[in-house]
Amino acid sequence: MRHYTQLIHLRAMIKDMEKNEGLHTLSQTERDILYAATDVAGEDGEFVAHDLARHTLARDISHATYHRAFKSLLGKGFMKPARGFKTRNYVLQEVRAQG
Which tens digits make up the pLDDT trace of 10-34? 999 999 999 999 899 999 999 999 9
- Is 10 among the domain residues? no
Domain that residue 83 falls in: 26-92
Residue 42's domain is classified under what CATH number?
Answer: 1.10.10
- Is 75 among the domain residues? yes
- Is 81 among the domain residues? yes
Residue type present at position 90: Y
- Is 8 among the domain residues? no
- Is 11 among the domain residues? no
Q: What is the distance between the alpha carbons of residues 1 and 51, in angstroms, rounded to a whole number? A: 37
pLDDT of residue 99: 56
Q: Please report how many Cα atoms fall inside a 13 Å half-sphere around the Cα of residue 1, on the Cβ side.
A: 1
- Is 48 among the domain residues? yes
Burial class (CB in 10 A: 0-12, 13-18, 19+), 36: buried
Q: State the total domains in the chain.
A: 1
- Please report which helix (H) or strand (E) contains residue 18, including its range: helix 5-20
- Is 20 among the domain residues? no
- Is 72 among the domain residues? yes
pLDDT of residue 87: 82
- Decide: pTM greater than 0.85: yes
pLDDT of residue 3: 80
Best CA proximity match to 76, nearest among 99, 52, 95: 95
- pLDDT tens digit at each of 99 positions of the chain: 778 999 999 999 999 999 999 899 999 999 999 999 999 999 999 999 999 999 999 999 999 999 999 999 999 999 999 999 888 999 999 876 655
| CA 1, chain centre distance (Å) | 31
